[in-house]
Amino acid sequence: MFDDSGWHAAAAKKPSPHCDARSDQDISLLVIHNISLPPGQFGGPYIDELFNGTLDESQHPYFAGLRGLRVSSHFLIRRDGTMIQYVPTTQRAWHAGKSCFQGRQACNDFSIGIELEGTDHQAYTADQYKSLLTLSRDIMHTYPRITLGRIVGHCDIAPGRKTDPGPAFDWSGFRSQLCRMR
């Protein structure tokens, strides 16, 4: 599953500079996001480039608004189920921004972030759910403080600011299948 450095064996590795040391190792939250670049378009190199700080803003008008943005996630699950890891779980990825969970601020400090290639209103693929279930199970095994109740959407930790993974995400089915896998 994970090596001592926090890299997952099944994920392609594309290390991002957009991370730093965790202030503590109390990893107890899993945050599910979505992303597509440009919005609503899938595939291509743009998410990798954004997370690695190499996005050429001239490639699409939407990208001008991302100039100087320094973000990353621990994982991305593409539409075909391929997993990419940008930041080891032992490091803090910059995925949650201003956030709060159960009164605790700065969720990046104690969470792992998974991006699904998608949008709030377009169904995620069966391949994505399969990879997300396997990855979530592995994360929960490695970090037992992450329970079903501590797997949330970006919308849950940044309400009013973020909406992902959106109404297209099947929380009920995901949680039900995850319970059966454990």
Return phi, psi of residue 85, to 5°: -115, 130
AA identity, residue 138: D
b (16+ CB within 10 A) / e for 97-109: eebebeeeeebbb
Please calculate the CA angle 78-82-85 and round it to the nearest 5 degrees: 90
Catalytic residue (choose from 49, 57, 115, 117)? 115
Sign of CA dihedral 44, 62, 95, 170: negative
> In 3-state terms, what secondary structure has residue 70?
coil
**Which residues share a beta bridge with 117?**
35
Annotated catalytic residue 57: no
For the record, the structure tokens of 30 come out as 């899993």
Active site positions, annotated: 115
